[in-house]
Structure 1
Amino acid sequence: MTDPGTWTPEHYRRANGRQFRTAIEALELAGLHSGRLADVGCGSGEITREMASRGYAVTASDFSPAMVEATRELCAGLPVTVEVRDARNLQLAPGAFDIVHCSWVLHWLDDIDHALTEMAAAVAPGGALVVQWSRANPRNQPDPVIMLEAVMNRPRWRDRLADTPFAMFQHPADEVVARLTAAGLAIELPPTELDAQFVADPVALGQIMKAAGLAEQAKKLGGDADDFVTEVATEMVKANELNPHNMRVIARRC
């Protein structure tokens, strides 16, 4: 798992307990029980530690130096190596891993071609690639980001946020599957949407967004940040656009 460069490890751990559980569930579905594992976007290290404690030798990476340091501390004494690495410039040894795992990273990348190609190539014969990400809905289907962008374009916010666009990108599941099959993997678990909903309380939801996906916008707005994030959350709740469209895919190299 990863972040857009603005989460602290403490925020990440507090906010992502459910996402940690879904990642472990997905890895268990892959069916392997030990070996070499690449954890791309390791976040604060919970998944890395869990899989290392189960007998995997883990190579972990994350965009954020703070996350890498948190992972290194959490996994002290375990068979883990961890480095700062942007998934857009991922480097994994071809065929080196029994499992490559990447949860909650793809939606932070504007271009996923390199990351998916590199991860697919790193899977050893018989191994699996486990991917989970948000905004996996079809491009013609509405999602919460439409509400967000509408608020950002209102007169009060438009000029102040003109140089701070929202950087969570849509990558439909069918497009991800097409890239993985083109890279030589067989789809073992077809796209499966996970049961997830944002909290329907505008104030609570706004504060979650302020700490996570809207942290850069909140920083830019200073004292007006709470007004902004609550306005976004209110529009999402009114429109009932609370589904982040979280998806899971498992692919295998035969």
Structure 2
Amino acid sequence: MERHVWQAEHYRRSNSRQYRTAVEALELAGLHGGRLADVGCGSGEITRNMAERGFAVTASDFSPSMVAATRRLCEGFPVTVEVRDARELKLEPAAFDIVHCSWVLHWLDDIDHALNEMARAVKPGGALILQWSRANARGSEDGVTILHGVMNRPRWRDRLADTPFAMHQHPADEVVARLVSSGLAIELPPTELDAQFVAEPVALARIMRAAGLAAQADKLGDDADDFVIEVATEMIAANQLNPHNTRLIARKA
């Protein structure tokens, strides 16, 4: 996905629930101050929230727009933020009381480096908090199956041939195995969040256009609304509205 399509103002308007679930996860892990790494900081609300609670935060995101928004929102707080692809993540080893990463893993084709780097960055007694979509069993059908069918229709196929949908499936059991092999203990086993998408085509299309289908919408220009509404309508008709959002908390002994 091209970085320029991730625009902070669009993301912020459509992803308030993702913000709330991240705060819930962080509170479950226990918040006692210290250092926190926010991997995939988005438009900065979580980074700001944690800084207000006394954390020194090291934040990163793939999108320059997101990083700029985070810098503005966190001005005056103990926050450092940089443009960084999670596939090339670099964190100080054994330095963070909490490493937090919500709604990023499913955008990575290969999660091994990111998981290893995050696990390595947790200090003894610290926690790694992960939330991601498409944590369902490998090969099982979900909304992405419907999306691929729409993208392959004559109106869209050629125009989107060089803009594939980049949301990958990383089953929860595979993520657990990677973390355990990195020396972490699972504190909160993978828990699927109750996060059905809204079953109304225009509202669902608005959410998808802001994030998941931002690259395709950018490519289609004036036809973007037709495309995202078509996808939303098909997903609702097929009752494939569960993104299989999952939460996991691991801790280093």
If the length of structure 1 is used for normalisation, what is the TM-score? Answer: 0.96
2:47/2:74 contact within 8 Å kept: yes
Task: Tell me the residue number matched to 1:172.
Answer: 171
5+ long unaligned stretches in structure 1: none
Aligned residues: 252
2:4/2:65 contact within 8 Å kept: no
Task: Tell me the residue number matched to 1:156.
Answer: 155
CA offset at residue 4 of structure 1? 6.4
- After superposition, residues 156-235 of structure 1 pair within 5 angstroms as 156-235=155-234
Look up the equivalent residue of 2:142 and give its one-letter code: D
CA offset at residue 201 of structure 1? 0.9
Structure 1 runs (4+) greater than 6 angstroms displaced: none
* d(CA) in 1 for partners of 2:220, 2:55: 44
* d(CA) in 1 for partners of 2:232, 2:60: 32
* d(CA) in 2 for partners of 1:207, 1:150: 20
2:25 paired with 1:26: yes
* d(CA) in 1 for partners of 2:219, 2:82: 29
1:173-223: per-residue Cα shift (whole Å, max 9, x none)? Answer: 111111100100000000000110111111221232222211221222222
* d(CA) in 2 for partners of 1:72, 1:210: 24
Paired residue secondary structure (1:48): helix
CA offset at residue 9 of structure 1? 1.4
If the length of structure 2 is used for normalisation, what is the TM-score? Answer: 0.96
Task: Tell me the residue number matched to 2:239.
Answer: 240
5+ long unaligned stretches in structure 2: none
Paired residue secondary structure (2:5): coil
Identity of aligned residues (%): 78
2:15/2:207 contact within 8 Å kept: no
2:52 paired with 1:60: no
* d(CA) in 1 for partners of 2:4, 2:119: 25
1:98/1:128 contact within 8 Å kept: yes
Task: Tell me the residue number matched to 1:50.
Answer: 49
1:136/1:171 contact within 8 Å kept: yes
Give me the CA root mean square deviation.
Answer: 1.3
1:4/1:108 contact within 8 Å kept: no
Look up the equivalent residue of 2:77 and give its one-letter code: L
